[in-house]
C-alpha cells in the first residue's frame, strides 16, 4: 500500500520538473573589446540556446539603454530571430558606441528576451543583465598662476590644477619635493580630494627663495590620485619659475620701489633737528 502511494508522487514531481525547464537560455555573451572608452564602437554577441524539447520562434532580443551612456551604432536595440530549433544556438548581435559622458565604471545593461514555442500563441518573456566596462585615463594639467618670486624673501606661490579629461578624479594629493633653491614654510603635502571633469582647483604655498639660487628654478611636484574605478596614478611634474633680486624687480617695473627707509631717515633727521633747535633756544634764553 505504501509503495502505491509513493510512485504517483514521484511521477508528479518529474512532470513538474520537466515543465519548468526553460526552453531558451543565454549560452554566452562576448564582446570584441574587454574594455571600452569614449567614442569606441564595440560589438556585443549574445548566444541563445534552445534548451527545450520543442522548437521556438519569433525570438526578440532587446537592450535597454535608457539612462546609460551608450547608443546603437549601425544597428538598433532590437534583434529578431525567426526560429531556433531544439538544442540549437543562434546569435543576436548589437553594435554600441560609448558616449562622451560615460564615467569609468562597470555598467549593467538590461536585456529583455521574448519568444513563443512552436504551435503556441503564448509569449514567454525573460530578463537578464550583461556587463560593459568603460575606462578613461584622467588627464590633469598643472599651470602657474600669477606670481613674483624674490630671492631671500618670503613668497606666495600659486599653482592651478585642471582636470582636462572626461572622467572625474578622486583622492587628489599634491606633494612638493625638496630643493636646495627654496625652503617651504608650509606643509609639503596638500590634499585636494575630488576634482570633476572640466573643473580646477588652486594650491598656494609659502616659500623662501635662497639668495644664491639661479634666476630660474624648478619646483618638482608629485600628483597622486585615483580614477572612479579606484586605479591609482602617480605623476611627476616639474614647473619652472623665474626669480629676481628685489633691485632687479624694481628696475623691470615688476614691483614699485618702496621709500619707507628714506622716509624713516627723514623723520629721524627732523626729530633730531627739532630737539637740537629746542636745546639751542633754551641756551640762548639763559644767556
287 residues of the chain, pLDDT tens digit each: 444 443 333 333 333 333 344 678 899 999 998 899 999 999 999 999 998 889 999 999 999 999 999 999 988 999 999 999 988 999 999 999 999 888 889 999 999 999 998 888 889 999 999 999 999 888 999 988 877 889 998 988 899 999 998 889 999 999 999 999 999 998 899 999 999 988 999 998 899 999 999 999 999 999 999 998 899 999 999 999 999 888 888 887 777 666 567 678 888 888 888 888 777 777 777 66
Say how far apart CA 162 and CA 164 lie, in whole Å.
Answer: 6
Domain ranges of the chain: 21-134, 140-261
Rounded CA-CA distance 159/202 in Å is: 6
Element (H, E) at 75: none
- DSSP letters along 129-147, please? EEEEEE-----EEEEE-S-
Q: What is the 3 state secondary structure string of 237-281?
A: EEEEEEEECHHHHHHCCCCCCCCHHHHHHHHHHHHHHHHHHHHHH
Q: Report the pLDDT value the prediction gives residue 17, as an integer from 0 to 100.
A: 34
In this structure, are residues 91 and 46 in contact, taking their beta carbons and an 8 Å threshold?
Answer: yes
Q: Calculate ∠ Cα 163-234-174, nearest 5°.
A: 65
CATH class of residue range 140-261: mainly beta
Asked if domains 21-134 and 140-261 share a fold, the reply is yes
Q: Note the pLDDT of residue 249.
A: 80
Q: For cell 551608450, what's the residue? A: 70
CATH of 21-134, one of 3.40.50.150, 3.60.21.70, 2.60.40.10, 2.130.10.10: 2.60.40.10
> Is the Cα torsion angle 159, 165, 169, 173 positive or negative in sign?
negative
The C-alpha atoms of residue 139 and residue 196 are separated, in whole angstroms, by 11
Q: Whose grid coordinates read 535597454?
A: 64
**Taking the CB of residue 190, how many other CB atoms lie within 10 A of it?**
18
Amino acid at each position: 500500500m505504501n509503495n502505491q502511494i509513493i510512485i504517483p508522487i514521484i511521477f508528479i514531481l518529474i512532470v513538474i520538473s520537466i515543465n519548468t525547464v526553460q526552453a531558451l537560455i543565454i549560452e554566452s555573451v562576448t564582446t570584441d573589446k574587454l574594455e571600452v572608452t569614449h567614442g569606441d564602437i564595440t560589438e556585443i554577441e549574445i548566444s541563445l540556446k534552445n534548451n527545450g524539447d520543442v522548437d521556438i520562434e519569433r525570438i526578440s532580443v532587446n537592450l535597454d539603454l535608457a539612462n546609460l551612456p551608450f547608443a546603437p551604432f549601425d544597428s538598433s536595440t532590437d534583434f529578431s530571430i525567426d526560429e531556433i530549433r531544439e538544442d540549437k544556438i543562434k546569435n543576436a548581435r548589437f553594435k554600441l558606441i560609448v558616449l562622451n559622458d560615460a564615467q569609468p565604471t562597470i555598467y549593467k545593461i538590461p536585456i529583455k528576451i521574448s519568444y513563443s514555442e512552436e504551435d503556441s500563441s503564448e509569449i514567454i518573456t525573460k530578463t537578464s543583465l550583461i556587463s560593459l566596462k568603460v575606462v578613461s585615463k584622467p588627464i590633469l594639467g598643472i599651470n602657474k598662476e600669477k606670481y613674483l618670486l624674490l630671492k631671500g624673501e618670503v613668497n606666495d606661490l600659486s599653482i592651478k590644477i585642471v582636470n582636462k579629461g572626461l572622467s572625474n578624479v578622486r583622492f587628489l594629493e599634491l606633494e612638493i619635493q625638496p630643493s636646495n633653491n627654496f625652503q617651504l614654510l608650509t606643509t609639503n603635502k596638500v590634499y585636494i580630494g575630488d576634482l570633476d571633469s572640466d573643473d580646477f582647483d588652486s594650491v598656494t604655498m609659502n616659500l623662501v627663495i635662497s639668495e644664491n639660487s639661479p634666476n630660474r628654478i624648478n619646483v618638482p611636484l608629485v600628483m597622486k590620485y585615483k580614477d572612479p574605478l579606484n586605479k591609482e596614478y602617480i605623476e611627476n611634474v616639474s614647473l619652472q619659475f623665474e626669480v629676481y633680486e628685489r633691485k632687479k624687480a624694481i628696475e623691470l617695473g615688476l614691483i614699485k620701489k618702496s621709500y619707507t627707509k628714506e622716509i624713516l631717515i627723514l623723520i629721524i633727521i627732523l626729530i633730531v633737528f627739532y630737539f637740537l633747535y629746542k636745546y639751542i633756544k633754551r641756551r640762548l634764553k639763559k644767556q
